[in-house]
Amino acid sequence: MIWEVFRQEKPGDYHTHCGNVHAPDREMAKQFAVVQHGRRKPTESLWVVPQEEVGEVDADEVAFGGTTDKSYRWAMAYTSSTEHAKEVIASQQEQEQAEADRQRGDD
Amino acid sequence: MDVETVKERAGPREFSPADDMPEKYRKAATRMIQFHANSEIMGAYLEKPFIRQAPSIDRKLAFSAKVQDEIGHGQLLYRAAESLGIKTREEMLDELANGEGKFLNCFHYPMDSWAEVPMIAFFVDGAAMRRQATLKSSSWEPYAHAMDKVCFEEGFHVKHGEDIMARMATGSRKEQQMLQDAFDEWWPRIIQFFGPTDDKSTHHDFSAEVGLKQKTNDELRNAFLDAYVPKAKSYGLEIPEYPRIEEVGDGQYHVEEDDLDWDEFFTVSKNEYEPGKGQIDARKAAQEAVDWVRDTIEGDANLPGSQAAPAAD
Amino acid sequence: MAATEIELTPDQRLALETELRTLADDEFVIAERYTEWQVHAPTLESDLALANIAQDELGHARLWYDLLEELGYDETDLLWERDPDTFRHATLSELPFPEGEWADAIVRSYLFDVAEGLRLEALEDSAYPAIADRVGKIQREEGYHTEHAENWLERLATDDEGGDHLQAAVDRLFPHALALFVPAEPVPFGAETVSGDGAGSQYTDADALPDAATVEETIVSEGYRSDSLATLGERWLDRVVPTLESHGLRTPVPADGEITDELVPDACGRNGNHTDDWDTLYADFTHTYRELGREDATMIMDRPE
């Protein structure tokens, strides 16, 4: 069986896909994952998931985020003359960053 | 781990499901996160009729998106609470339906007109954002992680609320008066959002000692007043005479807590305030009406990836 | 709003407006109904999914209303200060949901989404460029809606109780879905949208308008839509009837049937006759606009390109 491996670099991070291992069961898969994926890069935790359990939907099948204008759900669409609370500004900056990343990905 | 060790190690994102946390910690964290999740659902329930009321297409889109986000936050938070191993999401939603589940005071009060929307969407959401920003440092990692996503999304909520208020505040005399009337009614409840002063709060000490929360109710309330009293004034709102608010330093505000009705607050907190009971019961009825759907899909064991999970309503 | 650069004869403009009104009104009203399920859906996850669909449909309505705005109308003329009898959505969109009737939301969505999909295909090569330009974006989202509805049909049809709910929904909704394929009665031009030289001013009078069948012929002969509603209706039956039957459901019309007048309710929406529920719904969603004494509709986003 193939097991997809996901690594968490530091506590509090999300687990990211880093490859796979062949193993007959979960215990073996965990052991192989430790050897193949946990030795050199900083690792806090590893997950192993049977490949056939991973469901996928990709950009050919679905337009992520929709195709019509959704700017109503982004903080940047709203302007006002007052100064915003710092957590509102932080949220907007995060959203602007995410939007910039997404657009770079489209280029 | 014993409670003393927890207190020693307590720090931002320090504990996760991998740790063997003592029951006292797990119960305190569950209570806190469950309250937060319940509040997202009951807030969404209160605001939902105003999607229909939105007086423009764009406003309707934004409102629908906002209510949708709140359901999404509820879903995240129930997961974070479940991760403590005390209650399942289903149990927490059942408690919410039968009146045991606690939630924010503001969502026990009725909302009848559009002028009240900014009270929730700007002031209450603004207060919530202040609190949520500090909870990114909570010691329970799944909760702090959930706050990352919530804080990312909520900037638009507060700006949307402010936009609605700005439109009314610069509108006709009638609109401005409606806004002031709504503010007069909601302002005391908004201040009570942060709960009673810490001397009177039963759960604060332990939660603070184990790092679940970093700021006291008073600190959060004062930070909120410092930011939002000037904002209210900038939109032409008159701060009501009671509760008395004084400026104690440069731009620092302090409220006279005894001017607030804490009897009503405690009644509300125990889910014994009539309009709030009405909300809980109406939501319960709506949930029961769709029980059949959950029953039907729970039987669908053969469909790929299927999993029946409980409802928002 | 900037007027369209294309010169239209009054008959062309009437045909175009009629098509746009049905497209926009269908989307707006069904979106309005879908939002009723927010915070009331069977699961948190299904709540999020349906909210997405509601917002998509509202976004589509916005795209079509925008083209009407280019012909001289404001959002207030098209929604907030409009005579409810001039709405041209099919009654399928306006019907309320019986309490807890998730099957209605699913069946309604399925019947509507397949119909919209077929109509959008027939608009892909519209002789009116602005329509052709918008179709692609809308089609991709509608495709997702259809899949969502089909998944739910399958899940609900697995047991008797679910099947009963679905059948009740089909019985109630199917005749109103047929209304999607009924040619719409034209609506008089707004007086303020007729240019100074008076071209089209005769069509500001309801009594002077050609009938629905004539306008429908013009829509097709001008190439605004490549197929007639009758043809689209046949295609629609060919798709929805076998699908519903495959889930053990009966339909009042067979797959190879024809949509005739007797099958469609008198109050079908396209002819300006609506159900009483529509009057209530209209009063509801315009309540705040009127209470505030508004004269314009707040915009947050830029107008679509």
Which pLDDT band, with edges at 50, 70 and 90, does A98 fall under? Answer: confident
Contacts of B144 in chain A (CB under 8 A): 12
Chain segment B230-259, per-residue pLDDT in tens: 999 999 999 999 999 999 988 899 999 899
Q: Is residue A65 part of a domain?
A: no
Q: Are B296 and B230 in contact (CB under 8 A)?
A: no
Question: CB C293 to CB B174 under 8 A?
Answer: yes
Region of residue B236 (phi > 0: left; psi between -120 and 50: alpha; otherwise: beta): left
| Cα angle for residues C11, C12, C15 (degrees, 5° grid) | 85
Question: CB C300 to CB B62 under 8 A?
Answer: yes
Contacts of A79 in chain C (CB under 8 A): none
Q: Does position B275 have pLDDT exceeding 80, yes or no?
A: yes
Which pLDDT band, with edges at 50, 70 and 90, does C190 fall under? Answer: very high
The per-residue pLDDT for B198 is 73
Q: Is residue A66 part of a domain?
A: no
Alpha carbon of B228: minimum distance to chain A alpha carbons (Å):
8
Alpha carbon of C52: minimum distance to chain A alpha carbons (Å):
9
> Range of A87's domain?
71-106
Q: Does position B301 have pLDDT exceeding 60, yes or no?
A: no
Mean pLDDT of A71-98: 86
Q: Does position B312 have pLDDT exceeding 60, yes or no?
A: no
Every domain of chain B and the residues it spans: 3-298
Q: Are B45 and C25 in contact (CB under 8 A)?
A: no
Q: Does position C305 have pLDDT exceeding 80, yes or no?
A: no
Among C136, C144, C301, beta carbon nearest to A69: C301
Contacts of B129 in chain A (CB under 8 A): 85, 87-88, 91
Return the axis-axis angle of helices B141-169 and B173-192, rounded to nearest 10°: 150
Size of interface B-C (CB pairs under 8 A): 164
Same-domain check for residues A7 and A35: yes
Alpha carbon of B160: minimum distance to chain A alpha carbons (Å):
7
Q: Are C50 and B63 in contact (CB under 8 A)?
A: no
Same-domain check for residues A40 and A82: no
Q: Are B71 and B41 in contact (CB under 8 A)?
A: yes
Chain C interface, mutation test: which of B57, B111, B157, B159, most C Cβ atoms within 10 Å?
B57
Alpha carbon of C57: minimum distance to chain B alpha carbons (Å):
10
List, as ranges, residues 67-106 from B with C-beta within 8 Å of A: 69
Which pLDDT band, with edges at 50, 70 and 90, does B201 fall under? Answer: low
Question: CB C141 to CB A68 under 8 A?
Answer: yes
Q: Does position C1 have pLDDT exceeding 60, yes or no?
A: no
Question: CB B129 to CB A75 under 8 A?
Answer: no
Q: What does residue C156 show for φ and ψ, rounded to 5 degrees? A: -75, -25
Among A23-27, A59-63, A90-94, top mean pLDDT goes to A90-94
Which pLDDT band, with edges at 50, 70 and 90, does B19 fall under? Answer: very high
Q: Does position A41 have pLDDT exceeding 90, yes or no?
A: no
- ipTM here: 0.96
Q: Does position C251 have pLDDT exceeding 60, yes or no?
A: yes
As for how many domains chain A has, the answer is: 2
- Which CATH number does C10-291 carry? 1.20.1260.10
The per-residue pLDDT for A57 is 85
Q: Are C91 and C108 in contact (CB under 8 A)?
A: no
Q: Is residue A74 within 8 angstroms of chain B, CB to CB?
A: yes
Question: CB B294 to CB C43 under 8 A?
Answer: yes
Whether omega before B110 lies within 30 degrees of 0, making that bond cis, reads no
Q: Is residue A64 part of a domain?
A: no
Size of interface A-B (CB pairs under 8 A): 81
Same-domain check for residues A9 and A48: yes
Q: Is residue B282 within 8 angstroms of chain C, CB to CB?
A: no
Q: Does position B109 have pLDDT exceeding 70, yes or no?
A: yes
Helix (H, G, I), strand (E, B) or coil at B255: strand
Pick A80 or B22 by higher pLDDT.
Answer: B22
Question: CB C47 to CB B68 under 8 A?
Answer: yes
Q: Does position C2 have pLDDT exceeding 60, yes or no?
A: no
Closest CA to B89 of B37, B132, B138: B37
Alpha carbon of C50: minimum distance to chain B alpha carbons (Å):
9
Question: Distance (Å, rounded) from C-alpha A50 to C-alpha A2?
Answer: 6
Instruction: Tell me the C-alpha to C-alpha distance, in Å, between residue C166 and each of B46, B246, C91, C156.
Output: 30, 61, 19, 7
Mean pLDDT of B11-24: 93
Of chain C, the percentage scoring pLDDT greater than 70 comes to 98
The per-residue pLDDT for B308 is 41
Question: CB A69 to CB C59 under 8 A?
Answer: yes
Q: Does position B274 have pLDDT exceeding 70, yes or no?
A: yes
Q: Does position B305 have pLDDT exceeding 60, yes or no?
A: no
Question: CB B133 to CB A80 under 8 A?
Answer: no
Which pLDDT band, with edges at 50, 70 and 90, does C196 fall under? Answer: low
Q: What does residue B95 show for φ and ψ, rounded to 5 degrees? A: -60, -40
Mean pLDDT of B62-89: 94
Chain segment C68-89, per-residue pLDDT in tens: 999 999 999 999 999 999 999 9
Among A68, A70, A78, beta carbon nearest to C60: A68
Which pLDDT band, with edges at 50, 70 and 90, does B110 fall under? Answer: very high
CA atoms within 13 A on the CB side of C267: 13
Mean pLDDT of B67-90: 94
Nearest CA in chain A to C61: A68
Contacts of A71 in chain C (CB under 8 A): 300-302
Q: Is residue A76 part of a domain?
A: yes
Q: Does position A68 have pLDDT exceeding 60, yes or no?
A: yes
Nearest CA in chain B to A86: B130
Chain segment C8-31, per-residue pLDDT in tens: 999 999 999 999 999 999 999 999
Question: CB B155 to CB A91 under 8 A?
Answer: yes
Question: Distance (Å, rounded) from C-alpha A20 to C-alpha A37?
Answer: 9
Which pLDDT band, with edges at 50, 70 and 90, does B261 fall under? Answer: very high
Nearest CA in chain B to C81: B55
The type of residue at A94 is E
Mean pLDDT computed over every residue of chain A: 86
Q: Does position B93 have pLDDT exceeding 50, yes or no?
A: yes
Closest CA to B201 of B218, B223, B224, B225: B218
Q: Does position B24 have pLDDT exceeding 80, yes or no?
A: yes
The per-residue pLDDT for C7 is 86
Same-domain check for residues A102 and A75: yes
Question: Distance (Å, rounded) from C-alpha C115 to C-alpha C177?
Answer: 9
Chain segment B127-184, per-residue pLDDT in tens: 999 999 999 999 999 999 899 989 988 889 999 999 999 999 999 999 999 999 999 9
Q: Does position C192 have pLDDT exceeding 60, yes or no?
A: yes
Size of interface A-C (CB pairs under 8 A): 37
Same-domain check for residues A49 and A86: no
Question: CB A95 to CB B163 under 8 A?
Answer: no
Question: CB B155 to CB A94 under 8 A?
Answer: yes
Chain segment C142-187, per-residue pLDDT in tens: 988 999 999 999 999 999 999 999 999 999 999 999 999 999 999 9
The per-residue pLDDT for C168 is 98
Residue C263 has what DSSP assignment?
G
Q: Does position B310 have pLDDT exceeding 50, yes or no?
A: no
Pick C143 or B64 by higher pLDDT.
Answer: B64
Q: Is residue A39 part of a domain?
A: yes
Structure tokens at C51: 């909210």
Every domain of chain C and the residues it spans: 10-291
The per-residue pLDDT for B202 is 65
Other CB atoms within a 10 A radius of the CB of residue C195 amount to 10
- The CATH number of B3-298 is which of 3.40.80.10, 1.10.10.10, 1.20.1260.10, 3.90.550.10? 1.20.1260.10
Mean pLDDT computed over every residue of chain B: 92
Which residue carries 């490549």 as its tokens? C226
List, as ranges, residues 131-160 from B with C-beta within 8 Å of C: none
Mean pLDDT of A44-69: 88
Nearest CA in chain B to A56: B305
Question: CB C137 to CB A68 under 8 A?
Answer: yes
Question: Distance (Å, rounded) from C-alpha B212 to C-alpha B28?
Answer: 8
Q: Are C91 and C179 in contact (CB under 8 A)?
A: yes
CATH number of the domain encompassing residue A29: 3.10.20.520
The per-residue pLDDT for C230 is 96
